[in-house]
Each structure stands twice: as structure tokens, then as C-alpha cells.
Amino acid sequence: MLSRQFARNIFLAIIVWPITVAFATDVSAPDATGAAGNVTSPDIVSEGVNAPPAGISTSTASDVVRDVLQYALSHEGKTYRRGGMSPESGFDCSGFVLHVFDHVGGVELPHSASALGKMGRLVNKTELVPGDLVFFHRAKKHISHVGIYLGDNKFIHASSRRTGRVMVSDLNDRYWAKHFVSARHLELNRQY
């Protein structure tokens, strides 16, 4: 039987690999029009072939998204705590999101699911990409819960006092499908 960590790494590789390929560019190679910026093969990206000289940043949007997803998944199973914003004391839903995005991308976000629901660009549920935020309502029709979309209809979130932990859930599960409100895409290279 596969270990949980090994299965999670395979899941993440399947989700993140297309993003890495889509965003990784080789600025030295011209495309069909003669302009620089061809997509490089994943083995070149992952092996660091043609890496720039030391001291030059190679961070791309896909690198940050991959890091966000990996860091978020590393907290799976951590304790849920209302108002919590750290791995040591536990997380609530927005505390988990702001901790992950601040730690990995240096993006400072508010500690409120409804405030997060007004940031970034609104995206259709069918256009979700890993790293997008997904929003839900629990009792009323306003946003009261947030998670980070992983891909393949999965998202990670600090669920609730009832479940008591950070967990991966499926958007198609009856409860989450019924309570889904919206999704938003944050630009990871800007401050909010």
C-alpha cells in the first residue's frame, strides 16, 4: 500500500506538471515567429539545464503556485482552531490561506473569508487552476469559508471544528457543491 506522503507527491506532480510546462519559458530560443519565449520541456525545467547565472531570479508564476500547493499540503492534518493562523496553534480557513500565501509568496492577505472573496479576479468554476481560492457559504448566502484549489476538483482547507483539521476535500462532494459560492485568482506577484 502506498504511503500517504508518496500518494500526495504523485497527486501533486500530476496537477503541477502541466502548470510548470505552461509557464516555463526559455527566453533564449525563438519561437515560430522569431520571438523569444518557447516553452521548454519539463526535464529542462526540472533539471536546471541552461540555468541562469547565480544571483538572477528564475522564479515564475508556476514556481510560486507549485510552492504554494506543496506548502499547503505539508499542513494537511494540522489542527483546526478558530482564529488560528499558525501551524503551531492551528488554523481557521482564512488563517490557513493567509499563512500559506504569506509564507510562500510574501502576499499579505486579510484574515477573513469574506474579505478574501473580494480580492483578485473572479473566475468561473470551470476555469479553476491550481492555486485559485474557492469560496463557500455555510448557513447564509455570504462567504464564510475559503480553501486553496489543488486541481482535479480537489481543494485544501482548514475545514471546521467538527473535522478539527486541515484536509483535502472534493468540490463535487454533495456538501461542498451545494455551498460553493465563487472562485478567485490572485496575482501572486503583487501586494493586496
Catalytically active residues are 93, 145, 157
| Distance of alpha carbon 62 from alpha carbon 87, whole angstroms | 25
Query: 130 exposed, middle or buried (CB, 10 Å; 0-12, 13-18, 19+)?
Result: buried
C-alpha cell of residue 152: 482535479
| Distance of alpha carbon 44 from alpha carbon 145, whole angstroms | 39
Contact 143, 137 (CB under 8 A): yes
